């Protein structure tokens, strides 16, 4: 029987759909270790991995004749998998686009509102018992409605964020992207990222993680932002140069930041955690049961199609 490894616990609605396979569900919630990565390639016909399961070129080099034929990634982002090395080793790599779009866009809006309106800081004040009551100049933040948002990366998720901003908050939408995009409402493309940073009240990073996007937003881009502007990151942690962001926030060079991902996740520097002008979420982008079930079922469909001799619907 075909052997499948699921590298993290998933909702039962997902794993029960793999009853036609010899299934192993790894109970640990952390990424595969170096030894486990290599064992997965040697001992299983297919693997359903996820964020942090680092199938690098080195791993494939150490297993020159893998039994595994497919990595059906749980998630749209797959920068933890060296897809070129996988293909060279004879493996197919798939992901789960579409299922994550709206949930991730919703978290972007959550972070935008929390950062602009100082919601996390306000909650900490109430919980501390130090709140003295309402007054007219208490915790004044940035009014989001009618402002200008800049989307860095106008793929599915970037466009979903833009729609929420335009239709829900009457915001002007600008974007930076390799190619031109056409949507059903007005948007304006900028010639470069620095121009976008200097023109917007909120800048949202929504690009895929890759060597090309690592540190895309560094000290130069942060210094181009307006002093009241907020940076939101729902892409991958290393898209933003974390040390540069911490320095900018400490100096109050920008208005604030809302982060769902971190450069060295799950490690979050104490200097970042200490900042009141940073909203920090624990990678909640797709953390809704129905979304995680949809992601899992998409990965299952990729596996089933592959082992039925068909082309998986979401090959990368």
CATH of the domain at 113: 3.40.50.720
Same domain, 236 and 195: yes
Could you give the CA distance from residue 187 to residue 23 in angstroms, rounded to a whole number?
47
Q: Does 266 map to a domain?
A: yes
With a pLDDT cut of 70, the percent of the chain lying above it is: 100
Which pLDDT belongs to residue 53? 97
Contact call for residues 52 and 81 (beta carbons, < 8 A): no
Which of 13, 36, 43, 265 is catalytic? The answer is 265
Same domain, 112 and 90: no
Residue 283 falls in the annotated catalytic set: yes
Residue 26 falls in the annotated catalytic set: no
Give per-residue pLDDT as tens, 97-134.
989 999 999 999 999 999 999 999 999 999 999 999 99
Same domain, 25 and 48: yes
Q: Does 315 map to a domain?
A: no
Which pLDDT belongs to residue 294? 97
Q: Does 147 map to a domain?
A: yes
Parent domain of 246 = 101-280
Query: DSSP string covering 130-183, please?
Result: ------TTTT-----TT-EEEEE--SHHHHHHHHIIIIIH--EEEEE-SS----
Q: Could you give the number of structural domains in the chain?
A: 2
Q: Does 312 map to a domain?
A: no
- Residue 12: both structure tokens together: 């039962």
Same domain, 118 and 265: yes
Same domain, 68 and 199: no
Give per-residue pLDDT as tens, 27-36.
999 999 999 9
Which of 236, 241, 263, 292 is catalytic? The answer is 236
Residue 290 falls in the annotated catalytic set: no
> pLDDT-based confidence at 215, cuts 50/70/90?
very high
Give per-residue pLDDT as tens, 183-198.
999 999 999 999 999 9
Q: Does 198 map to a domain?
A: yes
Same domain, 108 and 213: yes
Same domain, 175 and 198: yes
- The average confidence (pLDDT) of the chain is 97
Same domain, 132 and 221: yes
Which pLDDT belongs to residue 280? 98
Same domain, 249 and 302: no
Same domain, 127 and 273: yes
Same domain, 174 and 211: yes
Give per-residue pLDDT as tens, 40-94.
999 999 999 999 999 999 999 999 999 999 999 999 989 999 999 999 999 999 9
Which pLDDT belongs to residue 97? 92
Which of 69, 156, 163, 283 is catalytic? The answer is 283
Contact call for residues 175 and 152 (beta carbons, < 8 A): yes
Q: Does 316 map to a domain?
A: no
Mean pLDDT, residues 251-263 taken together: 98
Same domain, 150 and 76: no
Structure pTM?
Answer: 0.92
């Amino acid at each position: 029987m075909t052997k499948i490894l699921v590298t993290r616990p998933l909702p039962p609605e997902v794993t029960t759909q793999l009853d036609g396979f010899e299934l192993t569900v790894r109970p640990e919630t952390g990424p595969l270790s170096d030894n486990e990565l290599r064992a997965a390639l040697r001992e299983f016909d297919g693997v359903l991995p996820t964020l942090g399961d680092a199938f690098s070129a080195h791993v494939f080099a150490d297993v020159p004749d893998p039994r595994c034929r497919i990595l059906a990634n749980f998630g749209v982002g797959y920068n933890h998998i060296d897809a070129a090395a996988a293909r060279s080793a004879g493996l197919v790599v798939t992901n789960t686009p579409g299922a994550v779009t709206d949930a991730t866009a919703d978290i972007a809006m959550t972070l935008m509102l929390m950062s602009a309106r100082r919601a996390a800081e306000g909650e900490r004040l109430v919980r501390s018992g130090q709140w003295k009551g309402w007054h007219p100049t208490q915790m004044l933040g940035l009014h989001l409605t009618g402002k200008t948002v800049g989307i860095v990366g106008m793929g599915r998720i970037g466009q979903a964020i833009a729609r929420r901003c335009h239709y829900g908050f009457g915001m002007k939408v600008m974007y930076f992207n390799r190619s031109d995009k056409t949507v059903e409402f007005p948007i304006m493309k900028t010639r470069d990222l620095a121009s976008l940073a200097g023109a917007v009240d909120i800048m949202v990073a929504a690009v895929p993680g890759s060597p090309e996007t690592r540190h895309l937003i560094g000290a130069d881009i942060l210094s181009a932002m307006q002093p009241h502007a907020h940076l939101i990151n729902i892409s991958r942690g290393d898209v933003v140069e974390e040390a540069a962001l911490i320095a900018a926030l400490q100096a109050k060079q920008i208005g604030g930041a809302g982060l769902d991902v971190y450069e060295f996740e799950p490690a979050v520097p104490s200097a970042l955690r200490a900042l009141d002008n940073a909203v920090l979420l624990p990678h909640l982008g797709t953390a809704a049961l129905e979304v995680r079930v949809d992601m899992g079922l998409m990965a299952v469909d990729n596996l089933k199609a592959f082992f039925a001799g068909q082309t998986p619907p979401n090959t990368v």
